[in-house]
Amino acid sequence: MVVVDFWAVWCMPCKVIAPYIDDLAKVYAGKAVFAKLDADPNPVTMREYGIMGVPTLLFFKNGKLVDTIVGAVAKSNIESKLKKYL
């Protein structure tokens, strides 16, 4: 399982969920990989995945996109999605 966090330096909601992502990365180490991708220098990747805003979390299982979360959500929402695919 891989979770990619599309974020931007200027994005306040991104800053809200950043500690959640950091915590979940520690809790699920060895079970899930968390990656961060700065949206501003990566417009091609943003278009490729149809991302219109940040924060956006993409959940990949076996190399395939299986789910998405857009916007700042509770840590429990992120963890629930993660558990669904582990």
For the annotated catalytic residues, the residue numbers are 11, 14
Rounded Cα gap, residues 83 and 38, in angstroms:
25
Contact (Cβ atoms closer than 8 angstroms) between residue 76 and residue 59: no
For the chain, the residue count is 86
Rounded Cα gap, residues 49 and 33, in angstroms:
19
